[in-house]
Each structure stands twice: as C-alpha cells, then as structure tokens.
Structure 1
Amino acid sequence: MLRFIFYLHLLVSVTSAGGSAPYTPTDSILLDCGASSNTESEDGRDWLADERSKFAPSNSESASFASRASRQDHSVTQVPYMTARVFRNNFTYSFPVSPGLKFLRFYFYPVQYSGFDGTTSFFSVTANNHLLLKNFSASLNLPVVDDQPAASLIKEFMVPCFETEKLNVTFLPSPYSWAFVNGIELVSMPKNMYVNHQENSLTFVGHKVSFDIPHATAFETVSRLNVGGATVGSVDDTGMFRTWFDDTPYIFGAAVGYTPSRGNNVTIKYSEDTPSYIAPAIIYTTSRTMIDDPQINMNFNLTWNFSIDTGFTYLLRLHFCETQLEVTEEGQRVFDIFINNQTAELNADVIHWSGGNSIPVCRDYVLFVPSEGQSKQTLWLALHPSKDVGSKFADSILNGLEIFRLNKSDGSLAVPNPQPESDPSPTLPSVGRKKKKYSLVMVITIAVFSGLLALSLFLCFLIYKRKVRRVKDSAASVQKSSWGQVPCPSNSTCTTSVSLLPSDLCRRFSIIELKEATLNFDDQFIIGSGGFGNVYRGCIDGGTTTVAIKRLDSSSRQGFREFQTELELLSKLRHVNLVSLIGFCDDHGEMILVYEYMHRGTLRDHLYKTKNPPLPWKRRLEICIGAARGLQYLHAGVKHPIIHRDIKSTNILLDENWVAKVSDFGLSRLGPMFQSHVTTVVKGSIGYVDPEYYRRQQLTEKSDVYSFGVVLFEVLCARQSMIPGLPKDQVNLARWARVCHARGTLENIVDPNLMGEISPLCLEKFGALAESCVRDVGTERPMMSDVVWGLEFALQVQEATERDMDMGAGGDEAMVIRSSQTSPLVLKAEGAGGGTTTDDDNEELFSVSGGKASESRSTISSVGRSVSRGDGDRIKSESVFSEFMNHNGR
C-alpha cells in the first residue's frame, strides 16, 4: 500500500508537469543506521540496514554499536529515527558511486538512547576531502518551528565525486564525546544541475567580478522554499527527494504579498534550459506576488530574510514562472531584485527570460558574506517593481528559492554551533540598602551618559550642516547621480552598473573638480587613449597633486565591463607595487577613474620603440622585482586570489623613482577558491597568453606567471613578444627564447645595449628563471613567490660581480658578455630606411593596447633601439596606461 502511494505521488507529479518524467538517479542509497535488518519508511522507500553492510568496515563492531531511542516524538517516523549508530572512535562509511555531484543527507534525532545520550554528543563529519561538520551538536542545531525546537533535523550537502569512484564519509567524535547518526541518504543528480561553466554566467552580487563554480565545489543547503505554497515533501520532488518548505516563516514584516490561486488547467512547459528535474511543477504553479494596488506596491518591497553564517560564498537560485492569465507578454510585470541591500538584477522580466507564459526559468546569483567579526548575519532578499519602465503591473513575483553555502578554499563547510540561549533575567540584590545604592549609581551613570550623548549629537549635527554647505557651494547646480543610475551607452546592451563604493575605499570627485584639473578635458592633456575613451593628466587639490584621469566615452561600447571590474578591484587593493586608485566621479552619468600619476610611463617605453635612453641592467632587475612583488600580492596576499590575466610590459608602470606598479585590472578575475583552476574563455594579449590556458580554457595563477615570463624576456631582449614576418621559430619571443636557452645561446638575443653589463652567472640565473616561467605545462612553472626570490637572487649575483670587478678580482673579459657578440635577429628594411615598419595593432589578438594605428608605427630592429614614431611630440598610446580598443576581442 505504501509503495502504491509513492507511485501515485510520482504520477501526480508527472501529470502536472505536462508529461515530463522525473529524474532517475544513477546512485540512490538509503542507510538505516543502527538497524539490523532492511526496513521500509512511511513514504514507501526501502532502507538498508548498516549492520554488517558492504558500506561499513569489517571491524565496525569495535568502533561503533547500534542503539535504540528511548522515546519517539510524534513528529518523527519510526524509520530511520528510532535506531542510531553510535561511534566511539573514527568510523568511515565507504559508498561506491558514479562520477558526479551527490546529494548527501544526514538524519539526526538527538534524544536519550540505550547506553548513549544524543543531546550531549559532539562530533565532526568529513566526506572525501571536504569537512562538512566540525564539533557539531545535533541538539543545538535543531530547527525552530512555531517558536519551539523541532525533534529532529536533516543536514543536506552536495558533495563532488569526480576524481574517485568512492564517497568516504567519516564520523570523528570530539574529545570526551561520542558521535552518532540515525540515517544516511545518498542520491545522484543530473550533470551541471547547480554547476554550469559558461563565461560570465555568474558575477558577485554588488560587484562585477565574474565567478565560476568549479566541479570540486561542495555545497550545504541553507534553504529550499516553495514560495507561496505549502511544504512539498521529498516524494513529490523530481526524483532527487528534495523537500521544499513553506516560505511563510521567512517573510519579513506584514507585507506578505499575495498568493494567487492556480487554475486547474495550468500545464508547466519545461524547456531545454529549464528541464523537468530542476524543480517539481507544483513549485512553478504556486507563487507570491504583491497586492493589487500599484501605489502601495511602489512604496514597499516583497522581502524574505534568512540567518546565515559569515565568511562564506552563497549561491541563490530564484525560480520563476508566469502562470497568471493576465501576464502573457514581455514588459507587463517588470521588477528589481535586491540581495543584502545590493542590486542583483534590474528590470527582471520573467516572460522575457522564459519566452512565454507557463514556461519556468531560474536565475542564479552569488554573494560573498565577509566575517567582519560576526559569526551570523541576516541575508535579505527583496523584490520591488521597477520604476519608469512602463510595465502594466507594478508588481513582482517569485515561485521558488534555493540557497546554498559553498565551501571555503580549504574545502570546509563547517560552521560553529548556535549559542544556547541563557536566562535573560538578572539576579537582583536581596538587601534593600544595597539595592538603593545600586539604583543611585545607575541613575547617575544614565544621567551623565545622556548628557554626553546629547552633546555628541549636537556636535555631529553642526559638522554635518557644515559639510552639506561645502558640498553645495563647490558643486553649485551640478546634479549628483549614483553608479546604479548611470545610463548605459546608447549602443550598449548593459543593464546594470557599479554600485557606489564606501568613501573610505576611494574618493568621490565632482565633475567640476575634474574639469578644472584638465581645463575641461583639453586635448593637450591626453596621455593615453583607447576604445573606452581618453586618459588625461590633471592636477587636483589646488595643483598640488598630479593624477591620471581615465574617462569613459559615453558613446563607447568597449571597456565598460573592464572599467567596472577595475573600480571594484583597485578600490580594495593597496600595495606599493600596484597602481593606486585615488577616486572616481559619477556626476551627470560620467564614469571616470582617477589614479596616481606615473611619471615615467610604461616599462615598454624604456625597452624599445622609444627615444628614451636604454635602462641599465640593474634597474631592469629592480623593476622586474617590483612587478613580481605586485603579482605575488595579488596571488597570495589577499583573502581571495586575483588573477590579473593581462600582464605585459605596457601594464607595468614606473613612477618618478622607478618603482614598478602593475596596472590595468579590467580583465582580472578572482582566482580558484575551491580547486586548481577557473574555467573561462580566453582573454588577454597575443604573445603573453598562457598556451595551456588557451588550449583548455582553464585559468590559474600560473597563467600570470607565464605572461610575466614573457615580460622577463622582453626586458632581457628589448623586443616585442610577437614579430610577424620573422622566421617561424622566431616570431614568438617566449618560444624563441626557450630554444636559445636550450641551445645555450641565450646571450645571442640579449639587448645589445646591455653588452658589457650582465654577469654571465646573473644571465644564467635570470634566463633559467624566465624559461621556467614560460613552460607549456602550468605545473612546471614556479609560484610568484619563487619568481620574486629568483629575481632577488639574480640581483645579488649581479651586485656581487660588480663588487668583484671594482676590486679587480678577475678581468672584464671573464666577467661580462663580450660586446662583440651580436644578435642574428636583424630585420631587413623593406624599401627605404634601416628597418621594417610594423604596426602595434598586430601585437594584440585578444585585446589591443595603445593608441591609434597611425600613431603606433615604429621602425625597429631586434638588436638596436627604436628610432621613430608617428607623433614625436606627444606619445599618446603607451605613456601611462594600457587600455582597451577591441572590446569584442577581449
């Protein structure tokens, strides 16, 4: 009979889904822990006894024992809650599984058992390489239902099993405690159900930094809600036995909205993008909308809140489906989505996303919640009708919601136990005389504190009024706007923009200040240009500070996303070897970034195609060390590693003291937080792109190491990374340098201006280091910390050689490269002149840096210095910033 009911549930689900069958899991294991024989639960599912099962070790009796609960709460079922497996020592279940992501559920009923007290049990649980629970107490983690703790709980995780055919689940009792579990459920799921590798498919809420979820990520389910409907049990799910809970306990305030009734003839039309297993049809036929009063709806949000743990990244999946007959076309119900008071989506339109009525769709959002000294925080989800879009209904809708916590970089999902509530009533003094004294002290304390508070508020008010008056005086009639309201370029398809940054991260300039700094953006102050617009040199703070001002052209389609990424990253990064972002401007829809001014331009300006004198070898080494330290900070000095993705000689800037600073973070990505790489499409500059990244589309910190290795050979050889027209094996600098290094002829391609300067031993160390950086296989390349050390060692070798030479230890001929050696890479002139004319645009495959092509032509030779440029009076293309000219290519 029970089995008949189970199949009847499935039949109802199939019918409501329009004939779509539920998912059939490849792996499905139900383990009744502590049971001596197989059992059947009330929902008709078969549970295997774990006693002497193939999943437990052969010596399980010595490490565990079976126990039975002393009582049964009316809310728990006989199976699997009335028996438990208790662990004295570490104990591992080993489940054979197929490759993929698995639902792993633990059932706990913390009561008194025969010979064991489940309410006082503390333990940890691991699954393969992931720490799921640490010093966990099932009793302290019981969910609260109607202001009372529930009797049992289920902890649901998703654990990856891609590199092994076993899922090993280990219980580890805490010191002086035992561990226990009542039931274990393991269910496989469809491929890419929650992990989807598509370029720019996800970005962090409130930021424009792209985020991919690697296959090795483990999840814990925080919430799974049937919005606007009753709880949907596991047997009514789509074959993975998920439970969808009623959302009512999570609604914030009295504005609970409206739950429209569904018609009997509604058929959910699943699509290829949203297959039937994503969520059961009942989830999409129930919903929560706002009330039928546009004026009221425009003044409040439809809001849910959740208690979450800090220090983790969260994935939120929102489920939508328009089933109301009155909403059938795009633009009729358009709303905004806010997560943790940050804009996640503007102008959300379910019909536009799905393509029609009754077609479900889901949207994923990623949120990082920093610790900030607190272990718990409230997560807010709010929906609000979009303004000024002309929609027919001032309304919003949500059908379902899933929230998952993603493991940290060390593989951990563990969080602290909730703190037990203490008795709020204090113990009062029993002696009347002491009580009076206590009250008198309290009265005096409160009076003094109140007086100080009033004085502080008055002073704050005066300061605020003065600040407001100063802002009004300086800005005059200028209207302020926020990044969230910056209009997109007229020919752009963007829908969102950057949120305002805290004032302590960077300074906000008015457009008046920046116009004054550049004489209304006069062309004479242009020091760089690209597809995004121009870079100007300007003076701020009364002419006391020189800055570089990057202004996004309002008609530009290029560099918009890169511009936002650079603002988000640089505002939070501070290092002596990273170019500093001073501030930004968002007046009148402008998008302007203000940087520290780098007086000596780019590193390339001092290597080739320039009239600048050649750099001495020691200075080149010091510049390389500084840039390497900047990259090392990005990779290992911040909480989440950052991959620059566009390291090249034009993105290494030099200040007046020759300090090297890494710049141009428009293509940067957060590095792998959960596994070895980030899967993403290839972006970068030709000649610098990691070949392994290019082949596999797998981005790692070693991709930056490869690019930096190319820069090292650029510094050594004073030639660009790619020179079309040379013999095939010499076109690519990195490959040609590796060939020369292997042949022992690296000195033949060294910049002739360095002849007589480099110690042979220094050249040997430097060449070996650079060669190791540009190896084809990423795992064979060094870390940036090793690169820094290697460059510092090369500098020490060079300095030791120079000291020996000054002291007369050895002859010059024995200690330096002979100046008579010349490079075989001489480019023959085509036509008049002494060299080959090249176009800088040929250098960029994925992005083009520099100015216009007509300004970039130079006469070059691989053994000489550059001798000409199109504009000798003012270098526009490469003076300060490497910028964007080919947005599609990047």
Structure 2
Amino acid sequence: MFAFLLPLFSFLLFSTTTTTSAQPYKPTDYFLLNCGGATTTSNRKWDTDERSKFMPSTTSFTSTPNKRDPSIPEIPYSSARIFNTSSFTYTFRVTSGPKFLRLYFYPATYSGHQANQSFFSVSSNGYSLLSNFSAFLTASYLGTQLVGSPPVPNIIKEFIIYVKPTQSLNVTFTPSPNSYAFINGIEIVSLPENLYYKSKDLNYVGQTSGPMITEDTSLENIYRLNVGGSQISSKDDTGMYRSWDQDDRYLLSAIGLTPVNMTPIVYTADTPNYTAPELVYATQRSMGNQSELYNLTWLLPVDSGFYYNFRLHFCNIIPQYTRQGAVLFRIFINNHTAEERADLFYWTQGTGYPVFKDYVIFVNDFDGSRRKQDLWLAIGPNRDKSEQYHDAFLNGLEVFKLSLFNGSLAGPNPELQPTPPSPPPPSPTGKKKTPPYAAIIGGIGGALVLMLSVLGFIVFRRVKHSGDKSDEQKSKDFGLPSGRCRRFTIQEVKDATREFDETRVIGRGGFGMVYIGYIDNDTTAVAIKRLNALSKQGFHEFQTEIGLLSKLRHVQLVSLIGYCDDEGEMVLVYDYMSNGTLQDHLYKGKNPHLPWKRRLEICIGAAKGLHYLHTGANRAIIHRDVKSTNILLDENFVAKVADFGLSKLGPKEKGVDYVNTTVKGTLGYLDPEYYKYQQLTEKSDVYSFGAVLLEVLCSRPVIINRGVPDEEMNLAEWGRKNYGKGTLHEIVDKRISDEIAPNCLMKFGEVANSCLRMKGSKRPKMDEVVWRLEFALQLQEAVEKMDGEVSGDMKGGSGMSGNQEFMFPVKEEDVSVVEEYEYNYELEGTSTGVGIQHGLTSTDGSSHEVFVSETVLPR
C-alpha cells in the first residue's frame, strides 16, 4: 500500500498541471470548408466551398438533409455537396509536408437520395482512402459497437497525407455506378514533420521487420484515446484540432483506477509539447500496486490485411515511483509481447516527463477476405522483475492504419450484426424429437480469480461506477463488477429454455445439460448450461468459471453472458456458437469436412486463445483440458476456446513454473509429465494442443481402443513416430491430402511434434506456437498464390515425384520410443476402464486417478 495515501485525496478529482514548455503548435496550412453551405463561425470559422477556388464550378449540386439529428453540431452537417454523375476534385494549394485531411459525413436523405444508396470512393494525391464507401453502413456499425452509447449519426474520417514539393493536395470523390457521393465538410491542417513521420524508432510486434513510415506512406487515424481521462475536444488539442475520446467503451478485462495527478508535466525535446495535450499525460488508467490477477485490456476493432502503428503515451504521475526497476510491466498487442519489462524511468528523466512508444503490427486476413477484426491491447505488471511495486498504467493511445504498397488505405464496408436464429416453434405434445447437435458449450469455466482489493487506495477514483443493484440481484454476486456478468432469475432461464424442454438440449458435458435458449424477448440466442446435481463438477467449478470469465474477454474465448443461482439451481449462460465444436467438423456428425486452410486458421485462433490465458492475467491460467470438443466455432468459423471447468491458476511464487495438483484431464490429451509428477504447468496445455493439431491433421480420435494396431491406438504417439520416419503425409486425412502444400505440412508437423515432446521444458510456449502456425499458413498461401491452388496428391503433387518422401529435420530426442504403461481412469457414472498413454511409469509405483471431464468413445 502506498505510504502517501491520505484520506483527503479521495475528494480530489483533478489537479491542474503546469508546464515549462512553449506554446502549442501553430499550423502553416489551415482550411475548413462547409460544403454546400455558407461561410459561418461556430467554434471555428468555416468557409463556404460555393464558387470557391478549391473546386470546379460544375458537376455537383448542394442539398440539405431531410432532418438533422439534434445531437450533432449544425455546422458542417446542415448542408452537403452531392456528386452523382462523375468524379469531383477539390484542390488545395499547400506547403509541402504532412497534412491532416478530415472528412465530415452525415448520412441522411439529400434531395430524395436515400442514405443507404450512397456508395463512393475517395482518393488523394494517388492514395486510395475510401473505396465503395458507405457512410450509412459505417455509422450503423459504429452504433452497434459503442455499447452504452447512443447511435452514431455522423462520421469523421481522419487521414494524414504527405504532400511533396510542387504538389497540391487534391481530394477526389467518385460515386459508384448507379449511386452518389456526398461530403459535408473538409478540414486540412498541417502538422510537424517529426510527429508521426520522423519520430522515434518503430518497434515491430510479432515479426522482426516491417514497413517504415516514410513520405510515401499515408495514414488513417483509427483511434485516439485519452486513457483514464475525459473527452478532449479539438479546441483543447495542441493546435492540430485532434479529438481525444474516452477509453471506457473499449476497456474489457478490468476497469482499473485513475490516480489523482499532483505532478507538473514537463515536455522534452523527444516529446515536444505538441505531441499530446497535458490532459492526456496528467491522467492515466492504473492497475494499482495491490492488483494481482488481471491485465488492463482494450478491444479495438480494425480492418484486416493492414499494418497498424500503436502509439502508446506514458507519463509517471505517481510520486512514489521514483527509480528504475521499481515498476516494470508487460505490454501485449494481439497475443504478442510488445514489451517484457517496460520501465518509464529507463525511458524518461523521471516523474512528470512524458514519453511515447510506437509499435507496428500486421493484422492478417482471417480467411482470405478482409473484414473487421478485434485487435487487443493489454498491459500488466511483471511481478517477476519488478523490484518494489506491481503496477501497470497507460495515459494515451493512438492507432493508425498504414497504407499498403499500392497506396491503399481502403477497407471494406463493415458487416452489420446478423439476425440471431429464430426460436423454434413450441414442440407438440407427445414424442419429442432430438434436435441436431449444434454447439456444445461444454463447461466453460476457469481458475478461481480472487476478488481484487482496493482497500487503502483512497487516492484513486473509479471511472466507471456500478449501478444500484435491483432486488433480483441481492443473492450471491461472487464479487463481480457491475455490468460484467448478468444475473438471471430462474424464471428468466426457464422462459428461455421453455422449462428446460428436452428438445432444446444441444449437448451434455461433465457439468450437466446444455440447452439453446432465447433471451431478451427472443432476440438473442444463447447456450445455457445447467448443473446436474449428480455431477462431480459442482459449486466450486461454478464459482470458479464465473469469477474467471467475468474478468477475461478475448475474441478467442467463449464469453460468459451471465449466471443464475436461484432456488438451488446453478446455471451458466454463454454466447451461442452456431457451428458447434471443432470435433464436429473432423469426424463426428454429418457436417461437411473442413478444408485444410480453414483448419489451419482455426488452430491459429485456438492457439491465440490459449496464449491469452497464459499471459492475459498477471498469473497464468492453465486450461488443463484442451481438446477438440473444447474449441468452439462461431458463425464465421472463428475458433473460441471453451470449458475452463478444470482450469488452475499458475504459480504465484517467483521462479516456480508449476503448481502441485491432482491429475485431471482427458485421455489422449493428458500431459504424461503432469501425470507422472502431478505438477501442472503451462506446457501441459501445450502438450494437449499438440494432440489437437494431430487430430485436426488426421481427422481421427486421439484414442482408439480397438479395431486398430496397437501402435495406432494413441494418436500422439503414432503421429510422432510417423513424423520421425518422414511419413507423416501417410496419416493425413485423405479428404484434404491434396490441399496441403508440402512445406506447410512440414512446418505444421514440426509444430505438433515439438508440442508433444515428453519433457515440458523442451516444448515451445504458446506464443511461439502461434507464430509458427502463422508461418505455416504463410507457406500455404504462398503456394496457392503461385499455383492458383495446390494440386496433386501428397506424394506426387506440387512438384514432388511419386517416390519422394518428406524429409523433416528431426532431432533424436523428438523420435525416441517411450515406454507405454496402463493406468486407471474414472468415467463419470461408469466403471473404471483401462486406457493407453505413452510416458514413464512413476518411480514409486503409485497410480493416479485421472478425471475425464467428457464422455470418451465407447469400446
């Protein structure tokens, strides 16, 4: 606890900062056009574009919206210039250097032209800024993303264009066929050359190199956030009229605390006073010295297929943090470690000195098509390295999209949220039909996350306040933050499932029955899991997964919507995964087989989910039951890790990488080293994931008890033997064998084999697994682009002769034959059976019970 805490501080909201810096930046070029309207003065002077030197006199007309939303300013949204026949270009004579170009759009009906009929492209000085852009779709999408905020009626698109000597700044609008273009306002502001183009070195995340930001690069600002502080309007910027939004709406995994600032902000030559306003550096979101079990995480949807520059703004404003090494924290961007030990006192001169860091990351297309993807940023204490305090904090964030080599910044129009599946009609009386297996949300749970203590942190104030609890929320709340996890009454659950109608059953797991349900007036489909009173996974698991999943959010984890603990019932409510489990599409059910590339993308997604579990909280979360039935697929086949009922928190002590615990897991996926020593590590999940990789490649169960030769009973052992002999291609699923590029198979087999090494210390970490699989995907895509498609069978296609075998760089340790041993395991509600697992017999001759959380294949 901080020694400087005083009760008086709890009443302070903000302390005005001072600065020794000069005045803010004054732009050399400044244009503000009210398109289609008159010259007027609001907060700033807007000039009319009518009969101006910036545009030709024909090919367009002006109009006013049929109605204007009262929440937006009158200027420039009371008028628009319309182009519906041909391209239209504005020309601005400016000095050379980088310029902000801001385009103002208000989608409405103009002179009978409907908003949803407007599609157009915008280019500037050879850069494609927008292509077939729909302001209507974009505004509608943003209105669905900003949870808790009103709909978004208007849009401001901000770009940075570098104007070279002798050039003017041209902005061209081109309507799509049978459509029209419009613009409400145009703003052009110059900016310092060294602010974004000649700034400090770029740090590349997830790769060793990447694009530089040069005069040939154009940028689009996607996010600009005042982290932990209030909205900063354009007039309060440093002279460039940038707007800084609050970060609340993007914050996911924790609310964090906002320290009271008592420190003057002192700009430096490396961080001049125009870099960001004082209000950015004088406020921050902090975890607080006592926080242990979570990271601060922001979720930021972006267009796939582009590089992004993350500019993180920092300034230490907590007086007790006074030396290097006292506070070290980690920075993660999209499952990659950007900084292992961020130290502000190593980066700056001390308290009150601002600094920023740039991190560049590429966002891959998920399935070859560009779409919105969730990009996440997380920070958390490095408890192993920090010498005194365990904290992490951030003051500001800017995210820029970088233009492609062809000068394009244009992404696709966003897809609006699909309509949820309609609830089925009431089932007739009499014999009930069994519905098709849809999505087993088989027991998503997690390691018990302790409630975070904030006692004594009077100096901090929360940005988000919990609302008053309703009468329905007066039973156990498990210490959950308000709004994080919804509490349902038992009547709401019964209404959603029609009194737990058997026709609504979509799965059975160790926890109990899983139903499809419909909540919120039948508008939202959910998966509802009801505890079986006879289940061994009882209240502890129920409490654990609520505590965990209410605090963790990630695109590759199934989200917990809420729970019910009324009348002795224990019910969990999750997102509904319409494409079921990964196993459903491999060898169970009647689903069409998954093509190889999609399987590979699913593996990458699941690996990212596991990596987030291992690194997304301050203490690692070990899943302990990774398998193909616990990887679920949404409507777009995005993989989401599920079933955390057996999960455990990783070790708390420094220098220890395991926790002692009873052996639990599922046959064929269970780490033999964990079985032998009863020491659970992150590498236990890695082993299980290696078994999943072979399952994906071969489309067969990990354990087959009869009907196959003994050497083929255990897939992990059989796969490693074939890998070692160079015959892995012989056990590949025949339905996809001619789709796999040989180099991709080599890399994929290498990853699976390394995950399945007998010694956990020899296995890779999940972040390494992620980038190796991504490299395998790149190998696959390279061949597909070169050949159009991979043709031929695995031994004769793609340029290989029919007698050529795959040669793998195999170490002796990777192919050593291990001893098989039998051990007992317990099936829920069944008698004990015998299974085969490769590994070493315990030296003391003891046997361990292995808990199987799901029913295995019948004998």
**TM-score normalised to the size of structure 1?**
0.50
Match of 2:40? 39
Corresponding residue of 1:378:
374
Per the alignment, residue 246 of structure 2 pairs with 246
1:448-499 CA distance string (max 9 Å, x none):
99688669799979997444567439998999887999xxxxxxxxxxxxxx
Matched position secondary structure for 1:336: strand
1:472 aligned to 2:673? yes
Superposition pairs of residues 377-776 of structure 1, within 5 angstroms: 377-421=373-417, 424=420, 426=422, 436=427, 443-445=434-436, 465-467=666-668, 471-472=672-673, 574=743
Given the alignment of the two structures, is residue 191 of structure 1 paired with residue 198 of structure 2, yes or no?
A: no
Q: Find the counterpart in structure 2 of residue 851 from structure 1.
A: none
Q: Name which one, 1 or 2, has greater alpha-carbon Rg.
A: 1
Contact 1:162-1:216 at 8 Å conserved across structures: no
1:131 corresponds to which residue? 128
Counterpart selection for 1:100 from 94, 97, 100: 97
Work out whether residues 304 and 381 of structure 1, in 8 Å CA contact, stay in contact via their aligned partners in 2: yes
Name the residue aligned to 2:271: 274
CA drift of 1:211 comes to 4.6
Contact 2:25–2:239 (CA under 8 A) maintained in structure 1: yes
Structure 1 match to 2:160: 158
Could you tell me how far 1:239 is from its partner in structure 2? 1.3
User: Per-residue displacement from partner, 1:140-164 (whole Å, max 9, x unpaired)?
Assistant: 2224364431221211112232376
1:792-824 Cα distance to aligned partner (Å, 9 max, x none)? xxxxxxxxxxxxxxxxxxxxxxxxxxxxxxxxx
Deviation at 1:421, TM superposition (A): 4.9
Identity %: 37
2: CA distance, partners of 1:474 / 1:427: 44
Task: Provide closer, same or farther for how the CA distance between residues 190 and 111 of structure 1 changes in structure 2, counting only shifts above 3 A.
Answer: same
Give me the whole-angstrom Cα distance separating, in 1, the residues matched to 2:20 and 2:430: 72
Tell me: CA distance 1:190–1:638, structure 2 relative to 1, closer, same or farther (3 Å).
farther
Task: Please give the per-residue CA displacement for 1:516-537, whole angstroms capped at 9, x wherever unaligned.
Answer: xxxxxxxxxxxxxxxxxxxxxx
TM-aligned CA distance change 1:308 to 1:544, over 3 Å:
closer
Task: Determine if the alignment matches structure 1 residue 175 to structure 2 residue 177.
Answer: yes
Q: Is the CA contact (8 Å cut-off) linking 2:299 and 2:377 kept in structure 1?
A: yes
Alpha-carbon spacing, 1:360–1:124, altered in 2? closer, same or farther (3 Å): same
- Residues 684, 760 of structure 2: 8 Å contact kept: no
Distance 1:326 1:122, change over 3 A: same
Show the counterpart of 1:488.
none
Partner-residue secondary structure (3-state), 2:194: coil
Equivalent residue, structure 1, for 2:304 = 310
Amino acid at match of 2:61: F
Deviation at 1:257, TM superposition (A): 1.1
Contact 2:327 2:386 in 1 (8 A): no
CA 1:318/1:428 → structure 2, altered by over 3 Å: closer, same or farther?
same
Relative to structure 1, the CA distance from residue 469 to residue 15 in structure 2 (aligned partners, 3 Å threshold; closer, same or farther) is closer
Partner of 2:570: none
3-state secondary structure, aligned to 2:252? coil
Work out the CA distance in 2 between the residues paired with 1:441 and 1:506. 34
For 1:420 and 1:473, how far apart are their aligned partners in 2?
Answer: 45
Aligned equivalents of 2:61, 2:723: Cα separation in 1? 79
Alignment partners' CA distance in 1, 2:745 and 2:419: 52
Quote how far apart the aligned CAs of 1:436 are.
Answer: 4.5
Rounded Cα–Cα distance in structure 2 between residues aligned with 1:185 and 1:130: 17
Contact 1:122 1:136 in 2 (8 A): yes
Shift of 1:16: 4.0
In structure 2, do the counterparts of structure 1 residues 189 and 478 end up closer, same or farther at CA, with 3 Å as the change threshold?
same
Question: What residue is the counterpart of 2:51 in the other structure?
Answer: 52
Q: Does 1:259 align with 2:258?
A: yes
Corresponding position: 1:20 with 2:19: no
**Other-structure match for 2:212:** 212
Residues 80 and 182 in structure 1, CA contact (< 8 A), matched pair in contact too: yes
Structure 1 position 68 matched with structure 2 position 76: no
Q: Structure 1's 502 and 214: CA in aligned 2 closer, same or farther, altered over 3 A?
A: farther
Which of 64, 85, 100 is 2:81 aligned to?
Answer: 85
Secondary structure, aligned partner of 1:345? strand
Could you list the runs of 5+ residues in structure 1 that have no partner in the other structure? 1-12, 430-434, 486-499, 508-539, 548-570, 594-631, 641-654, 664-890
CA change 1:104–1:459 in 2 (3 A) is closer
The offset of 1:424, in angstroms, is 4.9
Q: C-alpha distance in 2, partners of 1:99/1:482?
A: 55
CA 1:542 to 1:428, structure 2 compared with 1: closer, same or farther past 3 Å?
Answer: closer
CA-to-aligned-CA distance 1:380-424 (integer Å, 9 cap, x gap): 211111122243221111100111122233322222223345665
Does the 8 A contact of 2:21 with 2:273 survive in 1?
no
Q: How far apart are the structure 1 equivalents of 2:109 and 2:629?
A: 58
Q: Distance in 2 between matches of 1:157 and 1:80?
A: 18
Question: Quick one: which amino acid aligns to residue 743 of structure 2?
Answer: R
Q: Which residue of 1 aligns with 2:541?
A: none
Aligned to 1:233: 233
After superposition, the C-alpha distances for 1:547-587 in whole angstroms (9 at most, x for unaligned) are: 9xxxxxxxxxxxxxxxxxxxxxxx99938999997876997
Distance in structure 1 (CA, Å) of the matches to 2:416 and 2:783? 37
Offset at residue 191 of structure 1 (A): 1.3
CA displacement, residues 751-790 of structure 1 (integer Å, 9 cap, x when unaligned): xxxxxxxxxxxxxxxxxxxxxxxxxxxxxxxxxxxxxxxx
Are residue 286 (structure 1) and residue 283 (structure 2) matched? yes
CA distance in 2, matches of 1:409, 1:17: 41
Contact 2:21 2:267 (8 Å CA) reproduced: no
Q: 1:504 to 1:449 in 2, by over 3 A?
A: farther
Structure holding more helix per residue? 1
Residue pairs, 1:856-871, within 5 angstroms: none
DSSP 3-state at the match of 2:128: strand
Following superposition, the deviation at residue 228 of structure 1 comes to: 1.0
The equivalent residue for 2:594 is: none
> Counterpart of 2:133 in structure 1: which amino acid?
F
Q: State the SS of the aligned residue for 1:270.
A: coil
**Structure 1 residues 501, 91: CA separation in 2 closer, same or farther (over 3 Å shift)?**
farther
> Which residue number in structure 2 is paired with residue 300 of structure 1?
294
The aligned amino acid for 2:196 is Y
Return the alpha-carbon distance in structure 1 between the equivalents of residues 231 and 298 of structure 2: 17
Cα distance change, pair 172–546 in 1 and its aligned pair in 2 (3 A): closer
Task: Identify if the C-alpha distance between structure 1 residues 465 and 581 changes in structure 2 by more than 3 Å, giving closer, same or farther.
Answer: closer
1:592 shift after superposition: 10
Deviation of 1:428 (Å): 7.2
1:807 equivalent in structure 2:
none
TM-score by length of 2: 0.52
Q: Which amino acid aligns with 2:673?
A: K
* Partner of residue 140 from structure 1, selected from 132, 137, 141: 137
Distance 2:154 2:217 in 1: 27
User: Contact 2:33–2:46 at 8 Å: present in 1 too?
Assistant: yes
SS at match of 2:279: helix
The match for 1:351 among 345, 354, 362 is 345
Contact persistence 2:286–2:392 (CA under 8 A): yes
- Structure 1 residues 291 and 439 mapped into 2: Cα distance closer, same or farther (>3 Å)? farther
Structure 1's 340 and 473: CA in aligned 2 closer, same or farther, altered over 3 A? closer
1:320 correspondence with 2:317: no
Supply the distance in 1 between the matched residues of 2:420 and 2:691 (Cα, whole angstroms).
40
Letter in 2 for 1:231: Q
Structure-2 residue corresponding to 1:710: none
Corresponding residue of 1:5: none
Cα distance change of structure 1 residues 197 and 258 upon mapping to structure 2, 3 Å threshold: closer
Distance in 2, matches of 1:125 and 1:436, equals 53
Query: 1:342 deviation in Å?
Result: 2.3
CA contact (8 A) 2:674 2:680 kept: no
Give the CA deviation at 1:64. Answer: 0.4
